[in-house]
Structure 1
Amino acid sequence: MHPRITHLDGMRGLAILMVIAYHAYARWPELLPYAATTQHIPLFAFGWVGVQLFFMISGFVIFMTLDKSRSYGHFLKKRWLRLFPAMLVATLLLYFTAGFFPEWSEHTPESKNLIPGLIFVNPETLTQLTGIEFRSMAGSFWSLYVEALFYLIIGAVYFTAGRKYCLPALIVPMLLLSASSVLKSLGHPLLIDVISKFGFIHYAWFMVGCLVYERLHGRDKGYHYALVILALLINFSYYVKNNGVMTIVPLVVVMLFFIASFYSKQMERWLSVRFFTAIGFVSYALYLIHENLLIAMMVKLNVHIKNEAVMIALPVVVATALYYVAWLITQYAEPALRNALGQVVDRPARA
């Protein structure tokens, strides 16, 4: 086990706090009037980069997981058993609580919308392939679709071509995405539309995490840096095009923060404090449930509470309650489901 793993747990805690702050105070001003006051505060406005932090952590730990896996199948099974139990619990929780929150139309799911989360495929792709209109159970699920495909790709490369081809392989879909406008003009619009929904643009962040891990283990090569810089340039150009040049600032800050945490004992100690690691422990389950339940609850409370100062304080209370829900999922439901599913998955192998 890498000696610095504790601080990564703390970093997961920090990442989910950033995302919650963004959703509670900046993302939904049209639903939550108080957000008009808070949405431009940088701490809240740029909280969405918590997802990029999650991606970098995933990139960092992926080689550890691959190195401990016997085969591609074994690796995929471990990843599925890591992701699926909490996703199943969270999806069902969101589905069955929806009726309590009629105030928020985003949170009135149909049973077919259980499918994208449970198979980790984004709803746009499912809609394009089937012609049936799918939507995610929660907006925050989008990053799990990106993660799942990343695991499929990097695992395939690692177990066929080998470790040294992992980083080069991750730049390929990003380059494909960059060339999409050219490919579109050649007459494959549907294919390009499907590709564009896979989230390849975010692979730059996985690559940063991978490179930091390889560097710490003395396996970094010069061309790795060139690939990661190219990936970041592609990623930054996407954000500049869609959100303006200032968007690069929080992205660069969060990347430097991630890298520095491996070289600064002070940062490592700070991220390892109990507050962050405790939240990091439940971060996955909390990430899955927080947006729907937090926003729906705030919309409900907003009907009755007209005091803006009280409303601004309330997300902290609601998020704290959700922390305990996520803790119950992580501590009890997830391990029980994982053990049960693990036995089912293993059974054919023993037969």
Structure 2
Amino acid sequence: MHARITHLDGMRGLAILLVIGYHAYARWPELLPYVAQTQHIPLFSFGWLGVELFFMISGFVIFMTLDKSNSYISFLKKRWLRLFPAMFIASMLLFALGGFFPEWSAMTPYVRNLLPGLMFTNPETLTQLTGIEFKSMAGSFWSLYVEAVFYLIIGAVYFTLGRKYCLPALLVPMLLLSASSVLKSLGHPMLIDIISKFGFIHYSWFMVGCLVYERMHGRDKLFHYAIVAVAMLINFGYFVKNAGIMTVIPLLMVLVFFVASFYSKQMERWLSIRFLTAVGFASYAFYLIHENQMIATLIKLNVYIKSEVVMLLMPIMVACVLYYIAFLITKYAEPALRNMLKGKRIPAAPQSGAGA
């Protein structure tokens, strides 16, 4: 299994590079004039699919973690120790830097906005439940809220009903979401709003990862494929409705790419190259800090740099600096905080990857 994990690290690296490309060259044309030149290049405009890659990787590794956990509580503790340290460090860093970047409205340095990230809870849900307005410290945190609920559900099913019910159970919230328009007409808008904020629509990607893992271990059943196919149809339907029929092509490409990487030695070798695995190593911390800091810095630079050609190159420079910061967080700060939370003094070997 070791070579597989190496190539998954490379895939994490690729996923974060796709997301960074999307944010730097497609997401913010109203804030960064040069984006008008690049926003329609498919590699950038569909870079958000890097997040779906992260979800498939999470699905793949989740059974590994479940199999190594003695109980639901021990599983949740492992996941929390995996995700919380980097989230805490990234949140504090973004909070501390927020005041230096007034140009970027998404940098919201209010103490209360630390809560959604540190609790791994969608700020809109917190706002609905408390009546106090919450925002995330960074836009990219949204996928961690989706991961957290996914862990709660799959862990509960695994430790109560057993492994064979995990995939069917993940389909339930997706079906619930599909039925939500009916429920809305029956007069439960608040409930539907809360349901829709959990990100259940993305569960099909976790399910693909789970299914590939089960197949690798000879546990796949025909009905698993049927369940995952239904989930993918719901997911594709959602994207087609919101982004048009052409979105199906990149969605399918990402899906095929992930699955094929387990069957192609060539792909495995390519994904295991040092550059991608090095980026993959720090990808979680990189993911957490990249958008706020990169866009804010680029807006600042754009005031002084009048050349569009130079501006087109600046995201690469900024991303390199942010990668170095993410690397330091992953290699030193994160393991130190993790050991502190575990009550250990000895330095642990750093773990790799984004949310995996």
TM-score > 0.5 by shorter chain: yes
The alpha carbon displacement at 1:111 in A equals: 1.1
- Superposed CA deviations along residues 104-158 of structure 1, whole A, max 9, x for unmatched, are 1221321110000000000010011111111111000000000000000000000
**Secondary structure of residue in 2 paired with 1:135:** coil
- Give the corresponding residue for 1:184: 184
Check conservation: 1:240, 1:246, Cα contact below 8 A: yes
Check conservation: 1:60, 1:211, Cα contact below 8 A: yes
CA RMSD of aligned residues (A): 0.8
Check conservation: 1:102, 1:108, Cα contact below 8 A: no
**Secondary structure of residue in 2 paired with 1:107:** coil
- Give the corresponding residue for 1:82: 82
- Give the corresponding residue for 2:197: 197
Higher helix share: 1
- Give the corresponding residue for 1:304: 304
**Once the two structures are aligned, what percentage of the paired residues are identical?**
77
Check conservation: 1:112, 1:134, Cα contact below 8 A: yes
- The correspondence of residues 257-272 of structure 1 with structure 2, limited to 5 A, is 257-272=257-272
Residue 211 of structure 1 aligns with an amino acid whose one-letter code is: L
Whether 2:18 is the aligned partner of 1:18: answer yes
Check conservation: 1:140, 1:288, Cα contact below 8 A: yes
User: How far apart, CA to CA, are the structure 2 residues paired with 1:76 and 1:335?
Assistant: 18
- Superposed CA deviations along residues 147-203 of structure 1, whole A, max 9, x for unmatched, are 000000000000000000000000000000000011111221111110010000000
Residue 330 of structure 2 aligns with an amino acid whose one-letter code is: T
Check conservation: 1:27, 1:39, Cα contact below 8 A: yes
User: How far apart, CA to CA, are the structure 2 residues paired with 1:163 and 1:337?
Assistant: 32
- Give the corresponding residue for 2:352: none
Check conservation: 1:13, 1:280, Cα contact below 8 A: yes
Residue 212 of structure 1 aligns with an amino acid whose one-letter code is: V
* TM-score, scaled relative to structure 1: 0.97
Check conservation: 2:108, 2:135, Cα contact below 8 A: no
User: How far apart, CA to CA, are the structure 2 residues paired with 1:277 and 1:261?
Assistant: 15
**Of 243-252 and 11-20, the range deviating more from structure 2:** 243-252
- Give the corresponding residue for 2:290: 290
Divergent runs of 4+, >2 A: none
- Superposed CA deviations along residues 272-330 of structure 1, whole A, max 9, x for unmatched, are 01000000000000000000000000000000001000000010000000000000100
User: How far apart, CA to CA, are the structure 2 residues paired with 1:66 and 1:2?
Assistant: 18
The alpha carbon displacement at 1:45 in A equals: 0.7
User: How far apart, CA to CA, are the structure 1 residues paired with 2:102 and 2:128?
Assistant: 29
User: How far apart, CA to CA, are the structure 2 residues paired with 1:142 and 1:245?
Assistant: 25
**Secondary structure of residue in 2 paired with 1:47:** coil
Check conservation: 2:177, 2:200, Cα contact below 8 A: yes
- Give the corresponding residue for 1:321: 321
- Give the corresponding residue for 1:235: 235
User: How far apart, CA to CA, are the structure 1 residues paired with 2:240 and 2:320?
Assistant: 35
**Secondary structure of residue in 1 paired with 2:263:** coil
User: How far apart, CA to CA, are the structure 2 residues paired with 1:136 and 1:74?
Assistant: 28
**Of 181-190 and 256-265, the range deviating more from structure 2:** 181-190
User: How far apart, CA to CA, are the structure 2 residues paired with 1:143 and 1:251?
Assistant: 17
User: How far apart, CA to CA, are the structure 2 residues paired with 1:313 and 1:269?
Assistant: 29
Give the gaps of 5 or more residues in structure 1. Answer: 345-351
- The correspondence of residues 19-168 of structure 1 with structure 2, limited to 5 A, is 19-168=19-168
Give the gaps of 5 or more residues in structure 2. Answer: 345-356
The alpha carbon displacement at 1:2 in A equals: 4.7
The alpha carbon displacement at 1:3 in A equals: 4.0
Check conservation: 1:174, 1:231, Cα contact below 8 A: yes
**Secondary structure of residue in 1 paired with 2:340:** helix
Whether 2:340 is the aligned partner of 1:340: answer yes
User: How far apart, CA to CA, are the structure 2 residues paired with 1:307 and 1:3?
Assistant: 44
Residue 107 of structure 2 aligns with an amino acid whose one-letter code is: H
* TM-score, scaled relative to structure 2: 0.96
**Secondary structure of residue in 1 paired with 2:99:** helix
**Secondary structure of residue in 2 paired with 1:191:** helix
- Give the corresponding residue for 1:349: none
